[in-house]
Amino acid sequence: MSDRDYDPYARLDPVPSFPLTSDDVVDGQPLPAAVYGADAGGQDRSPQLTWSDPPAGTKSFAVTMYDPDAPTGSGFWHWAVADIPASVTSLAAGAEAPEGAVVLPNELRQRGFTGATPPQGTGVHRYFVVVHAVDVESLGVDPDITPAVLGFNLHFHTLGRAILVGTAEFGGAE
């Protein structure tokens, strides 16, 4: 298995999937230019997402975007939002987080979304856009924790997971 086959969610406890669609992220296909980082010719615009039919008992959602192919040894977290109310089933492109949600700092220490910016010579990167169905209304996380620590907390509270994987490479926003 090559590093490019690594699935960061494969080692976690299996949970049911539920439908996730996007006007911006098509599973296995390149991301649109707007979802790339500004430094890569994009707009740093978070993708539009719509989900439905989460598992029974869902009390909130978390949304994350992670690049396991970043040349870091630990990947790169682009986006992490927790405590999205269960009544919310979509996010508009570039939208602010819903009221009550907690937006965590990404790898650049920015609270919000940072777009795909694969460095030159690192090939095609995969961007795991995930909606996690959560069994509590609030995970009670410190708003300054890292997305990795959010993932640790989600491990114990995730009822279901919806995943789309977009791709990007250096120069792809042009």
What number is the average pLDDT over the span 140-169?
Answer: 97
The Cα–Cα gap between 174 and 77 comes to 23
Residues composing the chain: 174
Full-model pTM: 0.96
Q: Which CATH architecture has domain 15-168?
A: Alpha-Beta Complex (3.90)
CB-based contacts of 129: which residues, under 8 Å, 6+ apart? 20, 22, 25, 47, 49, 63, 64, 65, 163, 164, 165, 166
The residues pairing with 132 across neighbouring beta strands, listed in sequence order, are: 62, 161
Q: Nearest-CA neighbor of 25 among 5, 49, 7, 1?
A: 49
Supply φ then ψ for residue 145, to 5 degrees: -70, 165
Domain boundary assignment for the chain: 15-168
| pLDDT tens track for 38-92 | 999 999 999 999 999 999 999 999 999 999 999 999 999 999 999 999 999 999 9
pLDDT class of 17 with cuts at 50, 70, 90: very high
Q: Is 62 left (phi over 0), alpha (psi -120 to 50) or beta?
A: beta
